Amino acid sequence: ARMGRTLVELYYDVISPYSWLAFEVLCRYRHIWNIDLRFRPAFLGGIMQQTGNKPPAMLPKRGEYMLKDMKRMAKYYQVPVHMSADDFQRIMGTSSLTAMRFITAMDMTNPQYLEPLSREFWMRFWSQHEDISQPESILAVAQQAGLSAELSQKTLEMVSSPPVKDRLKETTAEALKHGAFGMPAVVAHYDGKPHLFFGSDRLELLGSVIGE
């Protein structure tokens, strides 16, 4: 981090709509706040498994509330998340593992594409309600994000490589070490220690803690 700037890490997974909200809002705040924002793609499935957490919609009343909450949040933050009750099944039936490995590979090789690429995955899954788990879907997302066909193909070939798998595992383990039990997990390194904030609705507290 540059002198006097607070390092803020965003641990996220593109299967998580709340992660999209936190991502967009932090992207806006980094121009106003004295922070260095670092994107940390991790695997939500791994975090849920390790902590014994369950998706919110497993509790019907919570699922009902989540639909209303997401509608209000999307409108408030002006992020085009479109969620319906059918999406709970869609999330359960979709693994984000390959997508998050693809994003991780991009972070390792061409980090300048990390932000637009991540955004396009959310756009495809949460705005257009299309698949993000199959290779052809992933290549379509990469194209939308401005990647050449050659780079996309090369990155897709990396998803099964040990270095990429290990990096995603390591980042997920780091999120767990900071106390994460879901996504998004925002970690601010301030006053010599990490401060964990869970969710996209704690950003004013984040600001307060880091003096913004």
CA angle 81, 82, 85 (to 5 degrees): 130
User: DSSP secondary structure string, 68-90?
Assistant: HHHHHHHHHHT------THHHHH
The backbone torsions φ and ψ at residue 122, rounded to the nearest 5 degrees and listed phi first, read -65, -45
Using CA atoms, how far apart are residues 104 and 108, in angstroms rounded to an integer?
6
Q: How far is CA 21 from the centre of its chain?
A: 9
Cα 53 off chain centre by: 17
Token couple for 12:
């996220």
Q: Is 118 a catalytic residue?
A: no
The strand pairing partners of 196, in sequence order, are: 187
The one catalytic residue in 16, 19, 96, 118 is 16
Residue numbers annotated as active site = 16
